Amino acid sequence: MSSLTASLIKPNINLANQTSYRVGGNAQWYASPRNWSELETCFSWYQDQDIPLTLLGAGSNLLISDRGIPGLVLSTRHFRDYQFEEPNGRLIADAGEPIARLAWKAAKRGWKGLEWAVGIPGTVGGAVVMNAGAHRQCLGDILVSATVLSADGTLEELTAEDLEYSYRTSNLQGSDKFVVRAVMQLQPGFTKDQIMQISNDNWTQRKTTQPYHLPSCGSVFRNPEPRAAGWLIEQLDLKGYKIGDAQVAHRHANFILNCGQATASDIFNLIRYVQEKVEYHWSVSLEPEVKLVGEF
């Protein structure tokens, strides 16, 4: 390994602080490139190895096993840049840009289209992969294209149609493709006050209805229409139920919290327990929105 590669790719790095749950084991190898040149160096090294590749954004929608992750974990958290294009209303952003920060910047410009994202703790890359959304809107509504890098080094430009978007999912999930950049179509021409008001209202609603005081991954389960997952769980009196230091949140039953010393196994076991109870009482199979990474 060259000195440059060694400075970018580190062995045996703990991942707990790389996720919003604050749990998880070590990456066998870890890299967080800051630009295209560093990304190319990391990919060049990876392609010479016979190891798996795991992609990591802000870690806000992941539960990483206590056993860690074999192979290379490639994080985009430092791969950041963005540009608001006048006058066409397009926002071009790298995968590591926090989606909530871009939402506030768009609001301050009077550009409509991202107000739903003001409280979402993920990155552009993660939002593209899972078709992130809130307040009956989602990224698929505004995505023009995404630049993705395959494990073999191929770059592609994919549209929302190419990604086969549906509720909180795309065909990128489970694939070997890595989001590098996204182009979003926003609507300029509104006043700052108009869009800031909507954004502030959305943020206030999230703060008052969702627990932000302890580590979590946001919503754990996808909503099984026509009911909300949180409602189904709440009716079973599971708010406050704990396994180890993992707890179903009192404020919102579709959140599982790390109350301080939870392990990934605690959280995983609580997820399975909630699924079993809901399946038994409601005959509904709750599908996790959180992505499980590693062996459980």
Catalytic residues: 168, 219, 289
Closest CA to 198 of 107, 102, 100: 107
Q: Quick check: helix, strand or coil at residue 155?
A: strand
CA 77 from chain centre, in angstroms, equals 11
**Phi and psi (nearest 5°) for 250?**
-70, -35
Task: Give the span between the Cα atoms of 32 and 202, in whole angstroms.
Answer: 32
E strand spans, 187-233? none
Query: Angle, to 10 degrees, between the axis of helix 192-209 and the axis of helix 99-109?
Result: 150
- According to DSSP, the β-strands at 62-64 and 291-293 are parallel
| Contact (CB, 8 A) for 103 and 195 | no
E strand spans, the chain? 9-14, 26-31, 53-56, 62-64, 69-75, 82-85, 90-94, 133-134, 137-138, 143-150, 155-158, 177-185, 242-243, 246-248, 256-258, 291-293
Q: Which residue has the tokens 């929302």?
A: 160
| Contact (CB, 8 A) for 220 and 290 | yes
Q: Which residue has the tokens 């932000």?
A: 212
What is each CA distance from 157 to 122, 149, 221, in whole angstroms? 22, 9, 30
Task: Give the span between the Cα atoms of 291 and 293, in whole angstroms.
Answer: 6
